[in-house]
Amino acid sequence: MSTPSKTLGDYVLGLADDALVSAQRMGWWISRAPQLEEDLALANIGLDQLGQARTLLSYAGQLEGDGRTEDDLAYLRDEREFRNVWLVERAQSDFGVTMARLLLFAAWQSELYAALASCPDPTLAGVAGKAVKEVAYHLDHAARWVVRLGDGTEESHQRMQAALDAEWPYLDELFRPVEGAVVDPASLHPLVLARIEPVVAEATLEVPQVAPARGGGRAGLHTEELGYLLAEMQHLHRSHPGATW
């Protein structure tokens, strides 16, 4: 039987893991982005997400009540204990895919944090109030690239549409019911679409008509690729427990 604090903890852990896993994927771009300026932009975005993840992880640890710290939760949980959605966990090495994904993710985070900023939980409201400004910039960055590539050359248009088609099935998971949710996930659906669709239209792209992916991240079911991500993210801490910079 789960207590209210435990279910809230699970909810917070989901949001924390979304941010943490997305940050780790952003980090992949460092030294690989199209040019130096974009390298820094993506690293900055990843660091913003990591900052959100740290506060949320600490709070999730407190709510859980077993004394686990942010590091314990980030580095010492196995794949099945992670609660992030599939949208953020899959490997990506195509810049268009990263921008399509960031557009969807940042649009969702923008509405989520805007709603959480006025929720009665002071910790969540605090994190959200700070993060809402960060994700506004992430959304702007992604939107500009999606428009630029979508409304660019014939090839960039076609590749941007393919990227959007590839990421769109993973949007649905963000709006599925979650136990302990402070903000009803379904209530964000129209708001998030209202942020994404004008960008897609301006980019001269089509809103994909695709079936939702299965998902299941909130219940600890993940794609194979999360395992590789965790191996890279956790191996140093596990090989050298307590290591610090």
Which residues make up the interface to other proteins (CB under 8 A)? 34-38, 40-41, 44, 140-141, 144, 148
Estimate to the nearest angstrom the gap between the alpha carbon of 62 and the chain centroid: 22
For residue 47, the minimal CB distance to other proteins (Å) is 9
Secondary structure in 3-state letters for the chain: CCCHHHHHHHHHHHHHHHHHHHHHHHHCCCCCCCCHHHHHHHHHHHHHHHHHHHHHHHHHHHHHCCCCCHHHHHHCCCHHHCCCCHHHHCCCCCHHHHHHHHHHHHHHHHHHHHHHCCCCCHHHHHHHHHHHHHHHHHHHHHHHHHHHHHCCCHHHHHHHHHHHHHHHHHCHHHHCCCCCCCCCHHHHHHHHHHHHHHHHHHCCCCCCCCCCCCCCHHHCCCCHHHHHHHHHHHHHHHHCCCCCC
Round to whole Å and give the CA distance between 16 and 55: 8
Cβ proximity to other proteins: between 14 and 46 the closer is 46
Cβ proximity to other proteins: between 77 and 130 the closer is 130
CB under 8 Å to 31, separation ≥6 — which residues?
39
For residue 173, the minimal CB distance to other proteins (Å) is 30
For residue 49, the minimal CB distance to other proteins (Å) is 15
22: amino acid identity, one letter: S
For residue 205, the minimal CB distance to other proteins (Å) is 19
For residue 35, the minimal CB distance to other proteins (Å) is 5
Cβ proximity to other proteins: between 141 and 159 the closer is 141
Round to whole Å and give the CA distance between 110 and 136: 6
Cβ proximity to other proteins: between 98 and 223 the closer is 98
For residue 87, the minimal CB distance to other proteins (Å) is 24
Cβ proximity to other proteins: between 121 and 151 the closer is 151
For residue 51, the minimal CB distance to other proteins (Å) is 13
Cβ proximity to other proteins: between 144 and 195 the closer is 144
Cβ proximity to other proteins: between 38 and 64 the closer is 38
